[in-house]
Chains A and B, each alone.
Chain A
Amino acid sequence: MTDTEKINVTAIVVTHDGESWLPAVVAALASQTRPIDRIIAVDTGSLDSSARLLESARIEVIREQRTCGFGDAVARAVSEINFQGEDSNEWIWLIHDDCAPVSTALEKLIEAVENKPQVAIVGPKLLGWHDRTHLLEAGVSIAGNGARWTGLEALEYDQGQHDGIHDVLAVSTAGALIRKDIFEEVGGFDSNLSLFRDDIDLGWRVRVAGHSVLVTTHAVAFHAQAATNERRSVDVVGALLHRPLLLDRRNAAYVLLANSSWWMLPWLTIQLFSSALVRSIGYLLVKLPGYASDELLAVATLVIKPAVLVKARKERKATRLVSPRIISVYVPPRWSQLRLSLSRLTESIRVKIFPVHESPTTSVLESLEDEDLLVPTKSNQWFNILRKPEAAGYLLIGLITLLASHNRIGALLGGSLVTSPNGASDLWRSYFESWHSVGLGSPNATAPWVPILALLSLVTGGKISLFTTIFFLAAPVLMMWSSHTLLQKYSENKFITIPASFLYAMSPVALAAVNSGRLATIVILILAPRIPLVLSKWREIETIAWRRIYGLAIILAIFSAFTLVTTVISFGLVASSIYLDYRILKEDNDKEVFLARLYRRLVVLLAPFLMVTPYSLEALLSPSKFLTEPGLAIAGGSTPLVLTANPGGLGALPWWAFSPILLILLVALFSSTLAKEASQFGILVLSAAVFFTAFKISVHGSSNQVSVWTGTFIAVATLCATVSGVVILDRLRSVLISSNIHYRHIMAAMLLLLSASYGVISTAWAISAGADSPVQSGHQSVMPAFLSAEENEKTLVLREFTNGDRKSVQYYISRGPEIFLGDPDIVPRQVIEIEDATKALIDGSGISSSKTLASYGIKYVFVKSPYSATLIQTIDGLGGFSRTSATSAGVVWRVAGEVGRLIFTSTTGERTVLPTAEVGARINVPGPGTLTLSESYDRSWQVLENGYRLPKARNAQGLPEFTVTEAGEISLIHDGTIRRAWLSLQLIVITVAVVMALPAGRKRREISEEELA
């Protein structure tokens, strides 16, 4: 039983550069309804006027060193308190120099401990210093990872929701009322905790000593948390580098490891390390490397000094009455920590996406002042929605897409698009593998669009074919939405922007891209409108924040992942801009601006290029890759067609469906508005498209030279034309309304008429002839099932194609039932020996064709029907091929001799086919001889025997050959170290770019008081 009459309260005020808050604190102490019996202040070497302030308030001040911690300061003050006698009930009231209790605080604290002799500590409810409705703490605990746990949401508003007197693990030392005898019994504050977490440690020790800790929300104090918020320096002993976070985290770990049961220690150590690691990654992502290092250093500094912990645990054992696990009821469950973290994350995302715009509220009565309240103000008739241009526009594009896609319901294939693999895991595996079983095998780097597709397919549960189908169906709508987002910046008139974005989605390049399966062009058509939004001041690029520059670099990297054509465009743009900057430098000699521009422009050019390494670096060795798109190499259109902004090729609009793009670009050139700038860029990009039609490239598994597909260039030109058109029409409208009819009226009418007629023609074509374009569903596999069933076996597939009156035979080496997404991008060039053997096979001169094919491990020759009987007869007439089947699918021959992937040739010349997995093998060889692997030669092929690498050479056919010296088990591997190294580099570059593009976190000292409140 506590007799309040006999309670003797000594307030201990600890100050450290606290002049900002001290006047309020002193006033608060002076105004307590329950007078304080004695006030002792301890000033820990304040550099400001804190001590003088206290002295002027006639408070006894003890001066200590600046390095004196909070616990030591309190201990020093306690030692000064005179003993009042046996009946006296001595309490100490700890007051921070940034903590102002309300006038009734002490009274309420004392009330809370009335008749509760077991209570050793009672603390008030802490509210924010500036925003006094901001609930800071009402009792505190510690989470398993050392986090300080208040159980409150960020910036939680105090509505009395936590009010009452509660049993807690600990209370903050700010405003805590502590029984002096118990305080001394447990040894006071731990001298190792000079600042931070000393309160939790004390509470924990008090609890295991058999006492209890309360918080009473009837007592209130306002706390500025000056040290936590870095409003003053931390100079205490042990505060390495004066870093509060480091000290806080170190002390958190100390408290956990010193007080927990011994058997919990390994688990706690792991938890501390892992959570420190996760938090440090988080800090790195928001570009706070100092905080990130604090997290790791904190745990490290503690672990490297175990003696400190051992001593601390011994001291606690001496005063322990119950198990440390008694406090487990106060430790927050893991799920509540997780829930709170998720809640904070979603809230921050929500605020980013839907920023709160506080608009002045008006009275409902005011708004209806002049209106007849009896007249309904709204009509809910559903068709009213069609009166909105955006609704009608999106409905129309959706309807057209559905009609045009009636052959595209299912797994898509055709044009440039190849078969989708079963799941995203196949794409990931393809990306990380160093060797690809395509054709004769390829060590080439998988294109970086493959992991992007795998990542995106998560929305369809990793089903690539489903995602591809949805993507192609949704592409026109996404193009329209994306372009409309941009066009809204240039015109508020939706009757202009909606038709313009509709025409963008129905542009020749958009239709051709969808119809011929051009993934890259579709992605660019969807994402390109974001670039002007990100980068509106290209000329004065130095005014753009680095964050936005890296944001742009990431978008360009996504483009480059799909096609390096964007690198060509970026190069042209950056190079010309740097040249212009240099001319400006010559005139005004402002080197600083020039360098600022140069660095930013180089980041725009190089960062995307580096983010798609090693694919982009391989392109330097094979420059035609700079002009390719994912998938099969399908020819683009002729030069005159491309001039009209129609990329041509399979699935493209016919020439007579003339789009207004070129005309708009030309007209806009003579405008004096923003339209002119857009059209200038558009004309240059269109010129590049026209220029590149002259280039013939043979890439992606085709030895045929095909015209470059210029869809990417045209997509950019189309966007420029769309912007130009909108800007012209938006400005022109007002001019036309207010002027007499002249040539501008006629020009505008012609432009609109041409655009409208194009819209009608392209729509009609898209839903009629366009619907039968190459990309369709429901295709069947080329390879007969019995050939596909033989895993890892190579088959030379021959097919006759008819183009008008011209017949040609094409061939390729198949290693399975299908070619999957990403495969065409990495296939190697055909080896000359196989080219010659196939040529000889067809013209009938191939006496040794079977021998050549066998040496490359080609087991079957398959002529796909329909075929010319002469071809079949020719192969029949050649030796070394024995017919195995002739079905409606085609004719199959087996190549004579020992054919396999890995051939062992003994010293006597006897050949044996050894079994292998898809890439490697682990098998026994019977004796000395040579191992020939019928895969393309690559330096990463290794054969290990008894831990040693077997000598490797390139044989006459260019295949890897290994010399076996003795019998034994061998391991055939393709060493993926180089691939992993490149991927690591890519990951690092991407991480850096993402971190740079992310919004930067701020140190607490950089956050204003208002924001903290």
Chain B
Amino acid sequence: MIKIRSLRYIAVLAICFLSASLFNVTTKSRNYSESFPALVCPPSLEGLSSQLSVANSQVKYQGLTNRSTKMTSFRTTRFALTNGAIVVNAEGITPVVWESRPGNWSGGALCAGPQISQWFVGGSANVTSRGHLIVANSGLSDAIVDIQVYSEKGKQPLKSITVKSRSFNLISLDSLAPGDQALVVKVAPRSGRINSFMVDEKGAGLRSLGGDLVNPYAAPSKDVTIPAIPNQIQKNGKNSSAHTLRILNPGSFDSDFTAEVLTSNGRFIPVELNTQSIPAGKVSEFKFSPEISAKVLAVHIKSQTPIVAAISTSVTVGGHSDFLWSTGAPKLDAISLAIAGLTPVVVFAGDSISVQLTVTMNNGKKYSRHIKGTDIVTWKAPANSRILTIDSTGKNTYAGAIISSVNGYGYIPLQAGSDLARVEEPSSNIRVLIP
């Protein structure tokens, strides 16, 4: 009798335990809010022509300087930018800007969300320079931005500028480090919603030496892969492209690097790029002209310290010279790019390439492709493509796109202009006031 009564108590304990355990499982929840930040596209500078490729005609935008919060639809998938930068509500499909000086050069860039820091490897401040740095503030408060310039002479004094709300500042590259040949510019906002773009344009007198839009890095890295570098071959079979690797080690100590070239014919390390030393804080340039038949190549750079690097390639288009800056790309991930009006040659680089992509045509039809290979694989988007979507990808794959037009060549790294901002909904808790 005593034992039975005692067992009842144990039963009560067991029932409480089981019911609490079951109830616990069913009550876990967490709320998130998801949004794509509005992207900022670079303005069309004087004398330049800019076209913006967007995913569809319903994508909305507003002028950067517009104080109203109202946005309007593009009503087209290829929109001519006439004045000023714009803010685009792209909803996850990154618009691409194609900018050109008719008859001289062209270049491509991605519209992007506000950045914490941007590294531009490109441009010069010598007499040939006609380039500009564009610093746009899409926020509703004034912004303070630090501009740190590095050149072959070393780290330049820090410049801080104020960018008024909903406006952009245009800074001539030759004013950043007058007379210096090789620039690397870091733009870091102290406050504000900042995007910056670089237009590298060169000329000698009235003669244009070409130009390009320089795509930025988010941060230096020890491993940099530049996935798409055009390599023009002359009819006589000799290599016509001159490549120059511009590299900066922004750290405090000198470092060594080695660059490996990836081609469809295999990998090799040019002697010019084998275990080279790069001084801390100084921009170095290394020219190399590989005797290869491949039309595109990729370069993988390994360094002892974090670096930023880009390769400038001289090309000839329609009898005039142009150059383009191929910059490092992040590891390829699932992204979507608006490529209406462009027929990019997408170059994938990596040890083992396996990419599933989908192309959406202007008429809405979709085509899927599975790209496989090793080292480097190229794929050209069909004409009338509107959206390029990378659905899935293998590990350590990098991609960039080379776009050509009658005016010149351009390069864009395949990366998202903005990531889906997934924010856990904030909660009210007095605990925040306790140290």
Contact B435 A413 (CB under 8 A): yes
Contact A810 B138 (CB under 8 A): no
Contact B24 A877 (CB under 8 A): no
Contact A809 B424 (CB under 8 A): yes
Does A883 reach chain B (CB closer than 8 Å)? yes
Contact B423 A799 (CB under 8 A): no
B32 CB → nearest A CB, Å: 9
Contact B17 A639 (CB under 8 A): yes
Contact B427 A693 (CB under 8 A): no
Contact A700 B10 (CB under 8 A): no
Does B12 reach chain A (CB closer than 8 Å)? yes
Among the stretches B168-176, B186-194, B316-324, B368-376, the one at the interface with A is B186-194
A595 CB → nearest B CB, Å: 28
Does A982 reach chain B (CB closer than 8 Å)? no
Does B252 reach chain A (CB closer than 8 Å)? no
Could you mark each residue 690-718 of chain A with 1 if its beta carbon is under 8 Å from any beta carbon of chain B, else 0? 11111010001111110000000000000
Given A670-B3, A672-B2, A873-B114, residue A413 in contact with residue B434 (CB < 8 A): yes
Could you mark each residue 1-27 of chain B with 1 if its beta carbon is under 8 Å from any beta carbon of chain A, else 0? 011001001101101110111011001
Chain A's closest residue to B190 (CB) is A886
Contact B432 A812 (CB under 8 A): yes
Could you mark each residue 119-144 of chain B with 1 if its beta carbon is under 8 Å from any beta carbon of chain A, else 0? 00000000000000000001111110
CA distance A72 to B33 in the complex (A): 98
A321 CB → nearest B CB, Å: 79
Does A340 reach chain B (CB closer than 8 Å)? no
CA distance A643 to B19 in the complex (A): 13
Could you mark each residue 421-435 of chain B with 1 if its beta carbon is under 8 Å from any beta carbon of chain A, else 0? 101111111111111
B3 CB → nearest A CB, Å: 7
**Within 8 Å CB of A640, what residues of B?**
17, 21
A84 CB → nearest B CB, Å: 95
Contact among A679, A684, A690, A812 with B433 in the assembled complex (CB-CB below 8 Å)? A812
Could you mark each residue 26-45 of chain B with 1 if its beta carbon is under 8 Å from any beta carbon of chain A, else 0? 01000001010100000000
**Within 8 Å CB of B190, what residues of A?**
886
CA distance A870 to B218 in the complex (A): 13
**Within 8 Å CB of A643, what residues of B?**
13, 17
Contact among A639, A808, A883 with B141 in the assembled complex (CB-CB below 8 Å)? A883
CA distance A488 to B142 in the complex (A): 74
CA distance A874 to B19 in the complex (A): 44
Most buried by A among B13, B142, B165, B194: B13
Contact A812 B192 (CB under 8 A): no
Given A798-B426, A808-B426, residue A782 in contact with residue B114 (CB < 8 A): no
CA distance A870 to B435 in the complex (A): 23
CA distance A862 to B337 in the complex (A): 37
Could you mark each residue 818-839 of chain A with 1 if its beta carbon is under 8 Å from any beta carbon of chain B, else 0? 1100011001001000110011
Contact B138 A877 (CB under 8 A): yes
**Within 8 Å CB of A893, what residues of B?**
141
Number of interface residues of A (CB under 8 A): 82
Does A879 reach chain B (CB closer than 8 Å)? yes
- Interface of chain B residues 51 through 70 with chain A (CB within 8 A): 69
CA distance A847 to B431 in the complex (A): 27
Could you mark each residue 136-157 of chain B with 1 if its beta carbon is under 8 Å from any beta carbon of chain A, else 0? 0011111100000000000000
Contact A819 B430 (CB under 8 A): yes
Contact B139 A876 (CB under 8 A): yes
Does A781 reach chain B (CB closer than 8 Å)? yes
CA distance A639 to B6 in the complex (A): 22
**Within 8 Å CB of A688, what residues of B?**
16
Contact B424 A439 (CB under 8 A): no
Contact among B21, B33, B35, B191 with A876 in the assembled complex (CB-CB below 8 Å)? B191
A835 CB → nearest B CB, Å: 6
Could you mark each residue 383-416 of chain A with 1 if its beta carbon is under 8 Å from any beta carbon of chain B, else 0? 0000000000000000000000000000001100
Given A670-B3, A701-B429, residue A873 in contact with residue B192 (CB < 8 A): yes
CA distance A798 to B194 in the complex (A): 22
CA distance A893 to B15 in the complex (A): 53
Does A807 reach chain B (CB closer than 8 Å)? yes
Given A669-B10, A847-B69, A879-B141, residue A824 in contact with residue B430 (CB < 8 A): yes
Contact B37 A844 (CB under 8 A): yes
Pick the 9 closest A-B CB pairs, nearest first: A879-B140, A701-B430, A877-B193, A877-B139, A694-B23, A779-B435, A830-B428, A694-B20, A669-B6
Q: List 27 A-B contacts (CB under 8 A).
A: A632-B431, A643-B13, A669-B9, A676-B2, A680-B6, A684-B12, A687-B12, A690-B13, A694-B20, A694-B23, A702-B431, A703-B428, A781-B435, A782-B433, A812-B428, A823-B430, A827-B430, A842-B423, A843-B33, A843-B421, A844-B37, A873-B193, A876-B139, A877-B141, A878-B140, A880-B140, A883-B191
Known contacts A702-B431, A703-B427, then 20 further A-B pairs from the complex at CB < 8 Å, ordered by chain A residue: A639-B20, A669-B10, A684-B9, A687-B16, A694-B24, A696-B27, A704-B429, A797-B432, A797-B433, A807-B424, A808-B427, A810-B426, A812-B430, A827-B430, A839-B426, A873-B116, A873-B189, A877-B139, A879-B139, A886-B191
